[in-house]
Amino acid sequence: MDDILNGFTGFSRKDDPLRYADADTQAASPVSFSKEALASIAGEDRRWAWVEIDRSAIRHNLHEAKRRLQPNCRLMAVVKADAYGHGAVEVSRTALNSGADALAVATVDEGIALREAGLRAPILLLSEPPQAAIPLLLEYKIMPSVYRAEFALAYGEIADAHHLKAPFHLAVNTGMNRIGVHAEDILEFERQISFHRALEQEGTFTHFATADCPENLDFRIQMKRFTEAIEALRLAGIDPGIVHAANSAALLRYPESHFDMARIGIAMYGFHPCEETRDVVDLKPAMSVYARITDIRNVSVGEGVSYGLNYRSPGSVRICTIPLGYADGFNRLLSGKVNVILDGQYCRQVGNICMDQCMFEVDMRTYGTHPRLNPQLGDIVTVVGNQGDAITTITEMAYLANTIEHEVAIGFAWRLPRLYR
């Protein structure tokens, strides 16, 4: 009896639904599919939610940045965190084709991915990795930031043992207190490492903590410390290499911070680093987010929707579901606070945003200039972007979630397929 019931009352093994996933059972199936045909099914056809990246917007933003650079100032495109969720390989190609001179990443693997995609531009790693990663830096020609003598000397030793040079950029701490050699200690640090024949200082940089803030006293202090540190190097006969400090905010607000190269990050993707830049430059967001309706239902007055049933139907609405949730970057903190767009009209997202799905309401009444919508399965819904005059933005979502655009954009990248246009 136990064998027949497989340990469960009234549940026979031959009717076990899990048998469908059994490899032996599948091997005996007469049905087969071409692996090439399966692989050709596009990401947006595997799931009805996706991200679109407008490369022309990235080109526009880079053009706007480049025309504000001081003469002979180079531009480094920051493509860390998968290009802020926009896709590091495609964005890097677009940036380099649009006049960027170098790329910056946050991890060794990010740099390796660019090299394996065939990109040959200089790549700067914006931190020191573990010493065990040094062979990867040398093999894939990724320049590390350096700020610890122990790491620098280990880097030089491994390079020298393989008859290679060890290029690096020296990171200087001028006040952000995250990484870097303290500005006042820069000459002592150079004394500790400069004797090594393999080490080559290709650049020296710092990072501003408040270039995006209205008040600029702390920015001025950092600028002064950095300028004095660079001058101290030169007076000591040490070539600082490519000097760079400006992030997106400083690039747009403080031309005196451009030095030999500026680093563009958030502005390249179409987001203003601060309110003060909105009147300075026209930036175009490159990311849009879409989904298709997967379910439509009438919900009676008083009936609830989603976990907790916090939303109750007022009647005269239809509840539509899209396959987009907080695991896709649609932050649960936005539940009930944002609109999506259907047929050029705003529709309120309702109920708690689930891990993989969320719901919105469609008002079925007709009044004034408000035409009645007729949602259909498969209809495209704009979550980020515009339809006609209606627009939803990552900036608004960031404000409502009490965070920054960087975090929202990156969140949409992890599971959603990306299309480029």
Residue/partner pairs of 146-149 with CB below 8 Å, 24 or more apart: 146/170, 146/171, 146/193, 147/171, 147/173, 147/179, 147/180, 147/181, 147/189, 149/189, 149/192, 149/193
Supply 98's token pair. Answer: 């649009």
Q: What is the pLDDT of residue 32?
A: 82
- Do 356 and 323 form a contact (C-beta atoms < 8 A)? yes
Distance CA 351, CA 398 (A): 19
Q: What is the pLDDT of residue 21?
A: 61
Show the low-confidence residues of the chain (pLDDT under 70): 1-31, 366-370
Distance CA 240, CA 121 (A): 20
Distance CA 391, CA 409 (A): 16
Q: Which residues lie below 8 Å from residue 309, measured CB to CB, with a gap of 6+?
A: 351
Please, what is the end-to-end C-alpha distance for the chain in angstroms?
61
- Do 286 and 309 form a contact (C-beta atoms < 8 A)? no
CATH of domain 287-420: 2.40.37.10
Q: What is the pLDDT of residue 19?
A: 63
Supply 152's token pair. Answer: 């620098």
Q: Which residues lie below 8 Å from residue 339, measured CB to CB, with a gap of 6+?
A: 346, 347, 348, 349, 360, 392
Q: What is the pLDDT of residue 410?
A: 95
Phi and psi angles of residue 264, each rounded to the nearest 5 degrees, phi first: -105, 125
pTM of the model: 0.90
Supply 67's token pair. Answer: 């025309």
Q: What is the pLDDT of residue 372?
A: 84
Cβ neighbours, 10 Å, residue 94: 24
User: Residue 92's closest CA among 207, 412, 101?
Assistant: 101
Distance CA 210, CA 130 (A): 29
Taking only the tens place, the pLDDT of each residue in 172-230 is 999 999 999 999 999 999 999 999 999 999 999 999 999 999 989 999 999 999 999 99
User: Residue 162's closest CA among 139, 192, 140?
Assistant: 139
Q: What is the pLDDT of residue 12?
A: 52
Strand pairing class (49-53; 287-292): antiparallel
Q: What is the pLDDT of residue 122?
A: 98
Superfamily of 55-273 according to CATH? Alanine racemase (3.20.20.10)
Q: What is the 3-state secondary structure (H, E, C) of the chain?
A: CHHHHCCCCCCCHHHCHHHHHCHHHHHCCCCCCCHHHHHCCCHHHHCCEEEEECHHHHHHHHHHHHCCCCCCCEEEEECHHHHHCCCHHHHHHHHHHCCCCEEEECCHHHHHHHHHCCCCCCEEECCCCCHHHHHHHHHHCCEEEECCHHHHHHHHHHHHHCCCCEEEEEEEECCCCCCCEEHHHHHHHHHHHCCCCCEEEEEEECCCCCCCCCCCHHHHHHHHHHHHHHHHHHHCCCCCCEEECCCHHHHHHCHHHCCCEEEECHHHHCCCCCHHHCCCCCCCCCEEEEEECCEEEECCCCCEECHHHCEECCCCEEEEEECCCHHHCCCHHHCCCCEEEECCEEEEEECCCCCCCEEEEEECCCECCECCCCCCCCCEEEEEEEECCEEECHHHHHHHCCCCHHHHHHHCCCCCCEEEC
Q: What is the pLDDT of residue 142?
A: 98
Q: What is the pLDDT of residue 369?
A: 66
Q: What is the pLDDT of residue 4?
A: 47
Q: What is the pLDDT of residue 46?
A: 87
Cβ neighbours, 10 Å, residue 145: 21
Write down the domain spans for the chain. Answer: 55-273, 287-420
Q: What is the pLDDT of residue 5?
A: 47
Q: Which residues are catalytic?
A: 80, 307
User: Residue 335's closest CA among 317, 359, 316, 313?
Assistant: 359
Q: What is the pLDDT of residue 314?
A: 92
